[in-house]
């Protein structure tokens, strides 16, 4: 094979998919991206197998599935960022021929037999093995070591230097460059990426910008407006539905249950996946598996309508996510110029029909290869990050903060400073108040996440602002959250009156959530919405009551005020303080309604007194 890119860095993009992975390279001489196929001429399957003698990755692993189902791993990406007890994991496990067990902190661990011994592996390790294989494929093709790669995967790997971008953004780059249209006013592009195991959507605006005075330097600016998705929705789910449907049919016909037999399930699943693909262009197809179980053959048919019926709720789920992404971007669907399909499962006619109807009959862009778009965009991004490529288009990527960033407030409330899907770079300053008289130090805790209770979110770091002046409670100081274009967050605190300041920088990886975890958290937050609303109502009313105790105590402590109050009013205040403190001390038992009614009572009885005298 000819040597390419000799003497310079190579720019490689890798799409690490649940089912298939794809690798592409930027060809500077030809001003384009080339997809690299594996030695079989295919995209590489994301399968890893363990035998008594060796470890196999890719097609070699997939080809021996039937004889070694328990030790052949696929779909591993679906386990990343999940707990063993997660209902999605439990459901997947029923259909997987390989064994998954609960590890440390309930992390799912895959158990295989390798060289005669039991070996435990986490999903990230399996993904990392596939990634190594992708690098090998690129290196064989290029006959050069690959040092840099852009990997579009929502998890972190440390094996070599790389930058991660989200998959729909990579696809948008591929689309934006493929079209090569000039658009000074901007085009709103909706990327619909339905793959094997995950569903991602992104709304981006692509703009052409002339960036210097002499109008020589042209840039294509890709600005992400919002992203959304479900890390557990894709082609495998449609396959699972078919497997369940046919296992039931087999049971009815033959009075035997195949669900406990990994080999039979695996063979049925392969037949279902093939049938599913056929149904994308035919309206009916057959399933034929010789000797599926206990020597019984399984021959049956499935229509496209039936396939759609058993998956309709999943297709509708996709549309709900599309809608939520538009809402997050505050954009009406009529403002979308192009809807771009990415990912193998976007070929399903019903999915396309529903999406087209949703966008009022708009033509869907199917002209980029849905399997390759992500890897192509990643390769362009890799070329941009590397030195020495002259023809690579000048692409500027403006992303959004994929999660909300906030600070803990009194009562463990999460106060959001930068909300999810805000364009970066961004800087926001908020005012904070001390919570005690003469408070010299304020502790600042920085969180990311979508839950109402601060401690239910991910703690990124904390620091103290000391040297605050002697002042009554509610002394104000500033806290500023700034995210730069590389996603690095700096939180600083500053007190104007004393000049004290301090800050913390949260670079990346260790503390930050992976996008998989973020999506998981957003989904969880949805599920916990009712609980969170209740928590917030209670925390807010308790903070307000606490503020009343403080004000009433000050009123009776202050000699000047006390002189103006009748003894009757003073007694009333003292008894209100006692009652409120008791309610607050007993807050676990106190009902929200009781607390809220008490707050109303305090406001109606004491508001005018406090206003008048204090
Ligand atoms: P990806 O992760 O983007 O490579 O997508 C792989 C998924 O797309 C797998 O679940 C495939 O079964 C599915 N897929 C590929 N081609 C088709 C097709 N023609 N119709 C339906 N699903 C397909």
Residue from 19, 76, 302 whose mutation best tests the ligand 1 pocket (most atoms within 8 A of CB): 19
Same domain, 510 and 533: no
Report yes or no on 609 lying in a domain. yes
* Residue whose token pair is 């999660």: 403
Q: pLDDT digit string (tens) for 408-417?
A: 999 899 999 9
Residue 48 has pLDDT above 80, yes or no: yes
Q: Tell me how far the alpha carbon of residue 131 lies from the centroid of ligand 1, in angstroms.
A: 20
Helix (H, G, I), strand (E, B) or coil at 45: strand
Nearest CA to ligand 1 atom 7: 196
Q: Decide: 525 and 532 in contact? Cβ < 8 Å.
A: yes
The verdict on whether 77 is a catalytic residue reads yes
Confidence of residue 533 (pLDDT cuts 50, 70, 90): confident
Residue 216: other Cβ atoms inside 10 A: 8
Tell which residue, 163, 187, 164, 192, has the closest CA to residue 177: 187
Q: Decide: 159 and 136 in contact? Cβ < 8 Å.
A: no
Query: Which atom number of ligand 1 is nearest to the Cα of residue 43?
Result: 4
Q: Tell me how far the alpha carbon of residue 189 lies from the centroid of ligand 1, in angstroms.
A: 22
The verdict on whether 408 is a catalytic residue reads no
Report yes or no on 322 lying in a domain. no
Q: 62, 77, 207, 220: which is the annotated catalytic residue?
A: 77
Confidence of residue 437 (pLDDT cuts 50, 70, 90): very high
Look at residues 268, 285, 311 and tell me which one is the last residue of a structural domain.
Answer: 311
The answer to whether the Cα torsion of 93, 99, 104, 107 is positive or negative is: negative
Pairing between strand 338-342 and 364-365? parallel
The number of C-alpha atoms within 13 Å of 101 and in the hemisphere containing its C-beta is: 8
Same domain, 489 and 418: yes
Same domain, 464 and 540: no
Cα–Cα dist 34/376, whole Å = 8
Residue from 233, 276, 349, 366 whose mutation best tests the ligand 1 pocket (most atoms within 8 A of CB): 276
Nearest CA to ligand 1 atom 1: 195
Q: Calculate helix-pair angle for 235-254, 87-95, nearest 10 degrees.
A: 50
Query: Which atom number of ligand 1 is nearest to the Cα of residue 342?
Result: 3
What is the average pLDDT across 331-336? Answer: 95
Residue predicted with more confidence, 571 or 524: 571
Residue 292 has pLDDT above 90, yes or no: yes
Same domain, 434 and 459: yes
Residue 601 has pLDDT above 90, yes or no: yes
Residue from 277, 318, 350, 373 whose mutation best tests the ligand 1 pocket (most atoms within 8 A of CB): 277
Query: Which atom number of ligand 1 is nearest to the Cα of residue 238?
Result: 10
Report yes or no on 338 lying in a domain. no
Q: Tell me how far the alpha carbon of residue 2 lies from the centroid of ligand 1, in angstroms.
A: 32
pLDDT at 158: 26
Query: Which atom number of ligand 1 is nearest to the Cα of residue 236?
Result: 10
Same domain, 522 and 411: yes
Residues framing ligand 1 (Cβ under 6 A): 17-20, 195-196, 235-236, 273, 276-277, 280, 343-345, 347-348, 371
C-alpha 347 chain-centroid distance = 23
Residue 29: other Cβ atoms inside 10 A: 9
Look at residues 506, 527, 548 and tell me which one is the last residue of a structural domain.
Answer: 527
The verdict on whether 448 is a catalytic residue reads no
Residue predicted with more confidence, 146 or 48: 48
Q: 15, 124, 371, 456: which is the annotated catalytic residue?
A: 15
* Residue whose token pair is 């771009």: 340
Check which CATH number belongs to the domain holding 436 and give it. 2.60.34.10
Cα–Cα dist 13/24, whole Å = 5
pLDDT at 557: 82
| Strand residues in 103-214 grouped as ranges (E) | 108-114, 117-121, 149-152, 162-164, 187-194, 199-210
Same domain, 554 and 521: no
Report yes or no on 81 lying in a domain. no
Residue from 20, 24, 153, 235 whose mutation best tests the ligand 1 pocket (most atoms within 8 A of CB): 235
Q: Decide: 216 and 391 in contact? Cβ < 8 Å.
A: no
Q: Tell me how far the alpha carbon of residue 345 lies from the centroid of ligand 1, in angstroms.
A: 4
Cα–Cα dist 144/132, whole Å = 15
Helix (H, G, I), strand (E, B) or coil at 324: helix
What is the average pLDDT across 431-447? Answer: 94
Q: How many domains does the chain have?
A: 3
Burial status of residue 271 (CB atoms within 10 A of its CB: 0-12, 13-18, 19 or more): buried
Which residues 6+ apart lie within 8 Å of 165 measured at CB?
A: 150, 152, 377, 378, 381, 397, 399
Where do runs of H (alpha helix) occur along 98-151? 123-142
Q: Tell me how far the alpha carbon of residue 121 lies from the centroid of ligand 1, in angstroms.
A: 26
Cα–Cα dist 225/207, whole Å = 13
Check which CATH number belongs to the domain holding 245 and give it. 3.90.640.10
Q: 92, 124, 167, 456: which is the annotated catalytic residue?
A: 167
pLDDT at 513: 55
pTM for the model: 0.68
Tell which residue, 233, 252, 246, has the closest CA to residue 310: 246
Q: 92, 124, 178, 193: which is the annotated catalytic residue?
A: 193
Nearest CA to ligand 1 atom 14: 344
C-alpha 116 chain-centroid distance = 38
313: alpha, beta or left? (left if phi > 0; alpha if psi -120 to 50):
alpha
Which residues 6+ apart lie within 8 Å of 263 measured at CB?
A: 66, 69, 97
Q: Tell me how far the alpha carbon of residue 274 lies from the centroid of ligand 1, in angstroms.
A: 10
What is residue 172's DSSP assignment?
H
Q: Tell me how far the alpha carbon of residue 123 lies from the centroid of ligand 1, in angstroms.
A: 21
Q: Calculate helix-pair angle for 167-179, 373-385, nearest 10 degrees.
A: 90
Same domain, 605 and 522: no
Pairing between strand 489-494 and 501-506? antiparallel
% of the chain beyond a pLDDT of 90: 40
Tell which residue, 126, 87, 129, has the closest CA to residue 109: 126
What is the average pLDDT across 435-448? Answer: 94
Same domain, 243 and 302: yes
Report yes or no on 538 lying in a domain. yes
Average pLDDT, the chain: 84
Confidence of residue 163 (pLDDT cuts 50, 70, 90): very low
The verdict on whether 333 is a catalytic residue reads no
Nearest CA to ligand 1 atom 20: 277
Tell which residue, 522, 526, 564, 548, has the closest CA to residue 604: 548
Same domain, 473 and 546: no
Confidence of residue 386 (pLDDT cuts 50, 70, 90): low
Cα–Cα dist 72/233, whole Å = 22
**Is residue 73 within a helix (H) or strand (E), and if so which, with residue range?**
strand 72-73
Query: Which atom number of ligand 1 is nearest to the Cα of residue 20?
Result: 4
Instruction: Show the domain range for 494.
Output: 405-527
Nearest CA to ligand 1 atom 6: 196
Look at residues 311, 337, 354 and tell me which one is the last residue of a structural domain.
Answer: 311
Report yes or no on 450 lying in a domain. yes
Q: Tell me how far the alpha carbon of residue 344 lies from the centroid of ligand 1, in angstroms.
A: 3
Residue 183 has pLDDT above 80, yes or no: no
Q: pLDDT digit string (tens) for 192-249?
A: 999 888 888 889 888 877 765 555 667 778 888 888 888 789 999 999 999 999 999 9
What is the average pLDDT across 133-153? Answer: 79
Tell me the residue length of the chain: 614
**Helix (H), strand (E), coil (C) string for 14-45:** EEECCCEEEEEEEECCCCEEEEECCCCCCCEE
Cα–Cα dist 303/484, whole Å = 52
Cα–Cα dist 170/166, whole Å = 6
Query: Which atom number of ligand 1 is nearest to the Cα of residue 194?
Result: 3
The two tokens of residue 261 are 């037999």
Report yes or no on 464 lying in a domain. yes
What is the average pLDDT across 501-523? Answer: 65
pLDDT at 3: 32
Report yes or no on 492 lying in a domain. yes
Same domain, 568 and 492: no
pLDDT at 522: 62
The two tokens of residue 425 are 């770079």
Same domain, 465 and 508: yes
Same domain, 538 and 451: no
Cα–Cα dist 329/334, whole Å = 13
Which residues 6+ apart lie within 8 Å of 488 measured at CB?
A: 505, 506, 507, 508
Q: pLDDT digit string (tens) for 247-282?
A: 999 999 999 999 989 889 989 999 999 999 999 989
């Amino acid at each position: 094979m000819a040597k390419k890119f000799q003497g310079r860095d190579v720019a490689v993009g890798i799409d690490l998919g649940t089912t298939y992975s794809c690798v592409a390279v930027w060809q500077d001489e030809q001003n384009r991206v080339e997809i690299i196929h594996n030695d079989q001429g295919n995209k590489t399957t994301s399968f890893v197998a363990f035998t008594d003698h060796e470890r196999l990755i890719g097609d070699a692993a997939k080809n021996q599935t039937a004889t070694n189902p328990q030790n052949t791993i696929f779909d591993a990406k679906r386990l990343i960022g999940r707990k063993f007890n997660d209902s999605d994991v439990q459901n997947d496990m029923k259909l997987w021929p390989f064994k998954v067990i609960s590890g440390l902190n309930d992390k799912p661990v895959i158990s295989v037999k390798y060289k005669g011994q039991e070996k435990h592996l986490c999903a990230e390790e399996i993904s990392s093995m596939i990634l190594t294989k992708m690098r090998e494929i690129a290196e064989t093709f290029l006959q050069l070591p690959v040092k840099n790669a852009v990997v579009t995967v929502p998890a972190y790997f440390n094996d070599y230097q790389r930058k991660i971008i989200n998959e729909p953004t990579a696809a948008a780059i591929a689309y934006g460059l493929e079209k090569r249209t000039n658009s000074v006013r901007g085009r709103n592009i909706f990327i619909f990426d339905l793959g094997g195991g995950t569903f991602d959507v992104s709304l981006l605006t692509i703009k052409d910008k002339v960036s210097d005075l002499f109008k020589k330097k042209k840039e294509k600016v890709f600005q992400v407006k919002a992203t959304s998705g479900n890390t557990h929705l894709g082609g495998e789910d449609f396959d699972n539905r078919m497997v369940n449907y046919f296992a039931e049919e087999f049971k009815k016909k033959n009075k035997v249950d195949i669900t406990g037999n990994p080999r039979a399930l695996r063979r049925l699943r392969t037949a279902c996946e093939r049938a599913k693909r056929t149904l994308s262009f035919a309206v009916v197809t057959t399933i034929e598996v010789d000797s599926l179980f206990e020597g019984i053959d399984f021959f049956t048919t499935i229509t496209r309508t039936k396939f759609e019926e058993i998956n309709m709720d999943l297709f509708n789920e996709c549309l709900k996510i599309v809608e939520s992404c538009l809402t997050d971007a505050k954009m009406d669907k009529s403002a979308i110029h192009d809807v771009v399909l990415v990912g193998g499962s976007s070929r399903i006619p019903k999915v396309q029909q529903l999406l087209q109807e949703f966008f009022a009959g708009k033509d869907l862009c199917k002209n980029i290869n849905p399997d390759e778009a992500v890897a192509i965009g990643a390769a362009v991004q890799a070329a941009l990050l590397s030195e020495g490529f002259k023809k690579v288009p000048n692409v500027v990527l403006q992303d959004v903060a994929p999660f909300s960033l906030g600070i803990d407030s009194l009562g463990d409330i999460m106060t959001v400073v930068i909300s999810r899907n805000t364009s970066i770079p961004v800087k926001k300053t908020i005012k904070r108040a001390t919570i005690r008289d003469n408070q010299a130090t304020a502790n600042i805790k920085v969180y990311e996440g979508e839950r109402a209770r601060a401690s239910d979110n991910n703690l990124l770091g904390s620091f103290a602002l000391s040297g605050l002046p002697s002042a009554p409670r509610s002394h104000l100081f500033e806290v500023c959250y700034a995210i730069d274009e590389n996603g690095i967050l700096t939180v600083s605190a500053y007190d104007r009156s004393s000049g004290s300041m301090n800050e913390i920088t949260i670079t990346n990886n260790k503390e930050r959530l992976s996008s998989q975890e973020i999506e998981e958290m957003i989904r969880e937050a949805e599920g916990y919405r009712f609980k969170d609303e209740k928590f917030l109502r209670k925390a807010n009313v308790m903070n307000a009551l606490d503020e009343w105790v403080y004000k009433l105590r000050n009123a009776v402590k202050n000699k000047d005020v006390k002189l103006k109050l009748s003894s009757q009013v003073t007694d009333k205040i003292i008894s209100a303080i006692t009652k409120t403190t008791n309610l607050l001390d007993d807050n676990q038992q106190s009902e929200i309604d009781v607390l809220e009614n008490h707050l109303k009572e305090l406001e109606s009885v004491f508001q005018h007194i406090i206003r008048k005298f204090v």
